Amino acid sequence: LIPPFFRGNFTGPFVPPSPIDGNNDSHHRGKMAEAYSPEITNRPALPFAASAKAQKGVVTAHSGRGEAMPCTPGVTMAQPVWKTFVGAWGGSVIGCGLCHPFDVVKIRLQVQGEGLKAVAGSAGGNQALGMWGMFSNIIKNEGLVGGFSYGLSSQILRASTYYTIKIGMYDVIKRNVFGEAPGKTIPIEWKIASGFASGGLAAALSNPCDLIMVRMLTDRTKPPEVRANYGNAFGMLLKLHRSEWMVGFVPNVGRATIVTASQLVSYDEIKYLALKYTPATDSLPLHVAASFLAGVITGVASNPLDVLKTRLMNGGSNYKGVVDCIVQTARNEGFMGFYKGCATTIARQCTYTVGAFVVMEQIKKLLSPF
């Protein structure tokens, strides 16, 4: 179970001991290293090769799990790190642009009735709104373009920082710490560890960008006389006082670890299992289906921490800290207070994940000749 990065004599991809002759490890490593060689990953003599997959254009190779791993035809070596980050940035900007309307609605739902006793059918004396009710209310009062274009610059800023870092570092950690390589997958627990690490790192480095997005998207929930009427996110970043950089840091990092682990790992695993057990090929329909399912899983898993992050960043002075925010939310609104806006969170995650991951896969193909 020790990751290959931490092995003292590590000189290449980890090769598991032979189940037949565990005493002849050096001989076995030489043989298996030959089998893993990128130049011959489509050799028919590879162990556990699946001929049915090969016939439909999916090359298979022995994985670190002791089973065949579907690989993209023609890919014989890992892509350079810069390609991963370019794909992550391009996909994230598109994905965040597509999901921005859902983010506007989600954040407004999460602060709706904040600090007030939960009463059936009410939110601070006004009728509680659901997802479609909030959509309708924004369009009615602010217009379609005006209501959903405000704060878009904060999405671009966040996509260029948080999302790009987490997706890029997820791939870097999988390769360089746990030894993933073309033709060799790694156990799911190592993927989860990669997701936790990359998500936490990205959120820690980009916390001010999250704070800016929350403040921009909640500004219009306030009375007109106290609104800040922010200009654009990049200007806000330059003006943000250093003392505010850490506002909402703990729930933001906690949310990011859960989101990244559930989103990227579930996408990886769904693709892996579909290629192994179904007639699916590594193509657009599979990318859409896998990213949609990953979005659903991510939305359900992350919503409670998303609510805490939004409330602390929107009105941190109302709470003494993370624990106080949890206590007040539970006391005033009950368990379901942590799942406010959950349907919108799922819709938002599915929209982002499908848009971003499909674009990333296409960028990956476009950059493959370089």
Can you tell me the mean pLDDT for 252-275? Answer: 93
Can you tell me the mean pLDDT for 356-367? Answer: 92
* CA separation for the pair 110, 232 (Å, rounded): 23
Nearest CA-CA partner of 303 in 53, 18, 96, 102 = 102
pLDDT of residue 77: 53
pLDDT of residue 166: 96
Q: Is this model's pTM higher than 0.75 or not?
A: no
Does the pLDDT of residue 69 top 80, yes or no? no
Can you tell me the mean pLDDT for 321-329? Answer: 90
**Burial classification of residue 21, based on how many CB atoms lie within 10 Å of its CB (0-12 exposed, 13-18 middle, 19 or more buried):** exposed
Q: Of the ranges 16-25, 121-130, 148-157, 215-224, which one carries the lowest mean pLDDT score?
A: 16-25
Can you tell me the mean pLDDT for 91-110? Answer: 92
Do residues 183 and 41 touch, judged by C-beta distance below 8 A? yes
Q: pLDDT for 205-214, tens place per residue? A: 999 999 999 8
Cross-strand pairs, 61: 69
* CA separation for the pair 157, 152 (Å, rounded): 9
Instruction: Pick the most confident of 27-31, 228-232, 262-266.
Output: 262-266
Nearest CA-CA partner of 69 in 271, 305, 294, 243 = 271
Q: 51 or 356: whose pLDDT is higher?
A: 356
Confidence of residue 188 (pLDDT cuts 50, 70, 90): very high
Residues 6+ away with beta carbon under 8 Å from 1: none
pLDDT of residue 227: 85
Q: 163 or 67: whose pLDDT is higher?
A: 163
Nearest CA-CA partner of 50 in 276, 299, 340, 272 = 276
Helix boundaries (H) for the chain: 25-36, 51-55, 81-111, 131-142, 144-149, 152-158, 164-176, 188-218, 233-239, 249-277, 284-315, 322-333, 342-367
- The fold for domain 81-368 equals Mitochondrial carrier fold (1.50.40)
Nearest CA-CA partner of 311 in 331, 330, 326 = 326
Would you list the domain boundaries of the chain?
81-368
